Amino acid sequence: MTNTIADIETADVILITGSNTTENHPVLSAFIKRAALKGKTVIVVDPRKIKMVEHAKKWLRPGLGTDIAWINGLMHVIIEEGLHDQAFISERTEGFENLKETVKKYTPEYVEQITGIAASDIIGTARIFARADKASICYCMGITQHTCGTDNVKSLANLSMLCGHLGKPGGGVNPLRGQNNVQGACDMGGLPNVLTAYQKVDDSGAVKKFESAWNVTGLSTKPGLAVTEMIQKAEKGEFKSLYIIGENPLVSDPDLNHAEKAFGNLDFLVVQDIFMTETAKIADVVLPSFCFAEKEGTFSNTERRLQRVRKAVEAPGFAREDWRITCEIATRMGTPMEYAHPEEIFQEIRTVTPSYAGITWDRIDKVGIHWPCPTTEHPGTPILHTAQFTRGKGLFHAVEHQPPAEIPDKEYPLMLTTGRVIYHYHTGSMTMQTKGLNTMAPECFVEISQGDAARMGIEDQEMIQVFSRRGKIQARAKISPMAVDGTVFIPFHFARAAANRLTNAAIDPVSKIPELKVCAVSIEKVAA
């Protein structure tokens, strides 16, 4: 996030897209709801009539996989009507002329043909967003989980820069992280091509710094594989062992039939987790670890704020802290790792991570600090890009609309999108251990429009089968006003009717994220 969570409430306009905020980020959504009560303008762009629409002054309903088109349409109107921030563009950015040329053809009428959004709504929304003094963009995996997910994000950045809404309170482009320490995991190098703080693994200066800190030589400068690439190589027999920590890919990965085959090809699988997940059940070794309430450490949340987490209860059985497990394995493999306490690990993190350098254990004893924080005198950085962008000038990316990897046809006439419900969290590893939550959301469902249900003769709560080119599942129909004709929604939490048996494993060529948010399906009633 370029801005803070609290900052969203101060915006004049809040544009939400690809985020079912009230169900996926209920705490953060309260800030948006309060802003709406104060008269701030909330704009929702989503194919489903999500709960946040109740708080929105404008709701645009695009077809699945058409985000670049409607964003380009907004920018077309803003440029044509001279509503762009010419001073900001001139002083802070480059590449504007290329963008201007690209969006010329994205007239409101042309965009309506692609997206289904009325031309008048494109025009009205563009004017509202551009004329706002402060406008914030919030997005989530409905934007990123596409084969063009990277370009979707670049398009939102284009829109914000075009109107000068970056680098100031109440503005910004704000990805809402899907889990509580996703930001921290990325900051710590939990990506295949970087060390901590996004220092490239092939940067000789960064590598030398880490070699010195760790008293080793010969660190690899070759980027590793993304999860989706690992699965592909495992299926081909080119990838033989996998160590999974706190993840349950046999529910969360796309095209699960293919994923199961890939996992079956592994010679050795290790799973480190707090419960016996679907993936842990097929592992050669399961290492029981601590949950968040059983350990000391830090989390870096969605707004880049480092906060302390403290031990509240004792861990059960033979479970150990994740860091102790890692150290013990490394030591047995010939590289001794010895730490007395998480504070000692954090001190090491500070020495090799420039954006964390000024954050000490004591400084975040009571209140967290936003990175970057380069020195111990620095207060932290709640808002990014106030004076300049990381690369100097912000770069506009001229991006063209591209359709999803899979579109409906006669055999598979409907579009499927997936997501979460408020009562369960990701693959349900924790929440499905809770009786109350299971009572509220006991099983999978297929959300379908009244029109589609009537056309197919489907009754509410009737058992139906959903087919894609990759697999099939059986679940209850849920006829809902949230759904739009031609599109169905299935939550992905439930292993017994896993939506990801249907989803497409086609990936974004840059981020390697799969297209979980759109694929073609068909539906049949279950024979009596």
pLDDT tens sequence across 414-459:
999 999 999 998 898 988 999 999 999 999 999 999 999 999 999 9
Which residue numbers in the chain have pLDDT < 50? none
CA-CA-CA-CA dihedral for 31, 35, 41, 42, to nearest 10? 20
What backbone phi and psi angles, to 5 degrees, belong to 216? -135, 170
Give the pLDDT of residue 178.
79
Q: DSSP assignment, residue 382?
A: S
Looking at residue 523, its pLDDT comes to 97
What is the residue extent of each domain of the chain? 5-176, 182-370, 414-525
Whether residue 254 has a cis bond before it, omega within 30° of 0: no
User: DSSP letters along 155-168, please?
Assistant: HHHHHHHHTT-SSS
* Residue in the structure block whose two tokens are 């010679």: 267
Exposed, middle or buried: residue 155 (CB in 10 Å: 0-12, 13-18, 19+)?
buried
Dihedral over Cα of 469, 475, 479, 483: its sign: negative
Question: Cα–Cα distance between 420 and 493 in angstroms, integer?
Answer: 7
Residue 528 is predicted with a pLDDT of: 66
Q: How are the residues of the chain apportioned to helix, strand and coil, as percentages rounded to the nearest 5?
A: 35, 20, 45
Write the CB contacts of 400 (distance below 8 Å, at least 6 apart in sequence).
68, 102
End-to-end CA distance of the chain: 51
User: Can you read off the two tokens belonging to residue 120?
Assistant: 């008048």
**CA–CA dist 476, 47 (Å, integer):** 21
Reduce the DSSP state of residue 17 to 3 states and report it: strand
What is the assigned CATH class of domain 414-525? Answer: mainly beta
Q: H-helix or E-strand containing 121?
A: helix 119-131
C-alpha to C-alpha distance for 395 and 522, rounded to whole angstroms: 42
pLDDT per position as a tens digit, 255-299: 999 999 999 999 999 999 999 999 999 999 999 999 999 999 999
Query: Contact, 172 vs 2, CB < 8 A?
Result: yes
Q: Please tell me the predicted confidence (pLDDT) of residue 338.
A: 92
Q: In this structure, what token pair is assigned to residue 427?
A: 């693959």
Query: Looking at 57-199, which runs of residues are DSSP E strands?
Result: 58-60, 93-94, 135-139, 173-175
Asked whether 241 and 266 are in contact (CB, 8 A), the reply is yes
From 383, 317, 456, 380, select the one nearest 10 (Cα to Cα).
383
- Domain 182-370, what architecture? 3-Layer(aba) Sandwich (3.40)
CB 352 within 8 A of CB 369: no
Give the pLDDT confidence score for residue 207 in this predicted structure: 95
Q: Which residue reads 């040329």 in tokens?
A: 101
CA–CA separation, 465 vs 523, rounded Å? 6
Determine the CATH number of domain 5-176.
3.40.228.10
